Structure formats: structure tokens, C-alpha cells
């Protein structure tokens, strides 16, 4: 495969589409798992941007380092969020975020 097989604009377009899908998912879903999936889509779109800019600019591996950090942080965030969701489900037998207002002090 040649070095410029996919132009930067194509990668950024895919990343923008992922970001929009994640934002729509966060805005429309009412359960916590759906919102968490939307957050993960947004974070993966930013990782795709980091890798694309690192690939098409002469700055070295900085983009890949940021993307690696951007993969580790959402993994920890997903583990903590899933633990909170499971604890909420065990208490209230639902993952509806509208019922989560009961958790406020």
C-alpha cells in the first residue's frame, strides 16, 4: 500500500462522523450503558485524530503517545462507570439515568 493511500481529509471525516454519532448517542439515550457507549465513541474519535495527525505530520510519535494515553484513560473510566452502573442497578433495578437523580445529596 502506498504511503498516501488514504488522505488526511478522509480520516478526519471518519473521525468527525464518529464524534457526531457519539454526541447523538449521549444526547438521545436514557440508559447509562448507552451514554457510556456514546462517550467511548467520542473518545475514540479523538484518538483517531491524534493518530492521523501524527501520521501526516513530521512531528514523530507524539500523536501515538497521546492516543495510547487516550486508550488507557477511557478503559479506566469505563471500568469505574460500569461498577457504578452495576451498583445502581442492584439498588434500583434499572439503569435509567432519570432515576439517578435520587443519588444527589
Say how many residues make up the chain: 105
Task: Report the C-alpha gap between 70 and 87 in whole angstroms.
Answer: 26
DSSP 59: T
| Other Cβ atoms closer than 10 A to 38 | 19
Give residue 73's pLDDT.
84
pTM of the model: 0.79
- Each of the 105 residues of the chain gets a pLDDT tens digit; together they read 455 588 989 999 999 999 999 999 999 988 888 998 999 999 999 989 888 888 887 776 777 788 888 888 888 888 898 898 888 888 888 888 777 776 665
Give residue 12's pLDDT.
94
CA neighbor of 55 nearest in space, from 22, 47, 18: 47
Choosing among 3.40.50.150, 3.10.20.30, 1.10.287.3510, 3.90.650.10, the CATH entry for 8-103 is 1.10.287.3510
Amino acid at each position: 500500500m502506498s504511503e498516501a493511500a488514504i488522505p488526511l481529509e478522509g480520516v478526519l471525516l471518519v473521525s468527525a462522523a464518529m464524534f457526531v454519532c457519539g454526541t447523538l448517542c449521549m444526547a438521545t439515550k436514557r440508559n447509562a450503558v448507552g451514554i457510556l457507549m456514546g462517550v467511548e465513541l467520542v473518545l475514540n474519535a479523538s484518538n483517531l485524530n491524534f493518530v492521523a495527525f501524527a501520521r501526516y505530520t513530521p512531528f514523530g510519535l507524539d500523536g501515538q503517545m497521546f492516543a495510547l494515553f487516550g486508550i488507557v484513560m477511557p478503559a479506566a473510566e469505563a471500568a469505574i462507570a460500569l461498577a457504578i452502573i452495576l451498583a445502581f442497578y442492584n439498588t434500583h433495578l434499572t439503569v435509567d439515568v432519570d432515576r439517578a437523580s435520587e443519588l444527589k445529596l
